[in-house]
């Protein structure tokens, strides 16, 4: 069975409400006809979740994601959003551990494990982000670095829980820098991640999990990246803010 092939958009902290509406209208107007193994996930800013859900509710295989959630179920945590709140908006997915959350908000692997648990308990599908910065890549220790992220944030789960997770590999040195890992570099790391999953669980579990590439994916390089054996789509930043460009990326899915 072909793994789910996914074009995931991360809008980050961009667009006014009106611009977000226009972008979604343009995207929906492209009338993508997606087979059952292809999905589009749109991670939009918190204030736009309800609007985005309504605009895409009739589009098959389109899902709305939050860009973050908190690890606790409820309480005196001003400014935070719980997984249960997201579910009550009929949001289905949530990004966990994006490199910007790790860097700017000091989110540790252990804290991300708690967020993974909270997300799964609420019935959300976490998109777990992992990846290395340039000094790690230059030292040649990227495989061990990413293996540690996986181990400390995901490997407390059993196989059935793990199968509910999407993994996104982000080479941090290739985000917003204009640098892109070569398709071969992307494939090597995706294969290494799948190998770690197989070592901890089993081959069937490892083969079932979608692993997305998240490093300056554009309409011009998506097809080459997605053609790699272990690359199951992309987590797309800047290029997802342009409907035509993101549509090209969707069309490049296997």
User: Which residues are designated catalytic?
Assistant: 98, 170
Strand pairing partners for 167? 128, 211
- Is the Cβ–Cβ distance between 173 and 137 less than 8 Å? yes
Backbone angles phi, psi at 167, to 5 degrees: -110, 135
- Is the Cβ–Cβ distance between 82 and 69 less than 8 Å? yes
At residue 253, the 3 state secondary structure works out as coil
**Which stretches of the chain are DSSP H helices?**
17-29, 49-56, 83-88, 99-105, 109-122, 134-139, 142-154, 159-162, 183-200, 203-208, 222-226, 243-251
- Is the Cβ–Cβ distance between 5 and 233 less than 8 Å? yes
Strand pairing partners for 80? none
């Amino acid at each position: 069975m072909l793994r789910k092939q996914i074009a995931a958009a991360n809008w980050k902290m961009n667009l006014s409400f009106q611009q977000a509406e226009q972008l979604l209208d343009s995207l929906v107007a492209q009338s993508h006809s997606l087979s059952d193994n292809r999905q589009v996930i749109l991670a939009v800013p918190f204030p736009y979740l309800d609007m985005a859900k309504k605009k895409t509710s009739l589009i098959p295989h389109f899902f709305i994601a939050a860009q973050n959630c908190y690890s606790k179920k409820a309480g005196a945590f001003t400014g935070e959003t719980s997984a249960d709140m997201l579910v009550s908006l009929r949001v289905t997915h949530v990004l966990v551990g994006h490199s910007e959350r790790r860097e700017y908000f000091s989110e540790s692997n252990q804290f991300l494990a708690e967020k993974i648990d909270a997300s799964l308990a609420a019935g959300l599908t976490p998109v777990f982000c992992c990846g290395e910065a340039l000094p790690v890549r230059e030292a040649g220790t990227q495989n061990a670095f990413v293996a540690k992220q996986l181990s400390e944030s995901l490997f407390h789960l059993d196989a059935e829980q793990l199968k509910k997770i999407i993994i996104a590999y982000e080479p941090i040195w290739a985000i917003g820098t204009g640098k892109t890992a070569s398709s071969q570099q992307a494939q090597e790391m995706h294969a290494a991640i799948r190998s770690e999953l197989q070592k901890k669980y089993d081959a069937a579990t490892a083969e079932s999990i979608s692993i997305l590439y998240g490093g300056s994916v554009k309409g011009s390089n998506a097809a080459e990246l997605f053609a790699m054996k272990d690359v199951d789509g992309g987590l797309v930043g800047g290029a997802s803010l342009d409907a035509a460009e993101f549509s090209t990326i969707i069309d490049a899915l296997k």
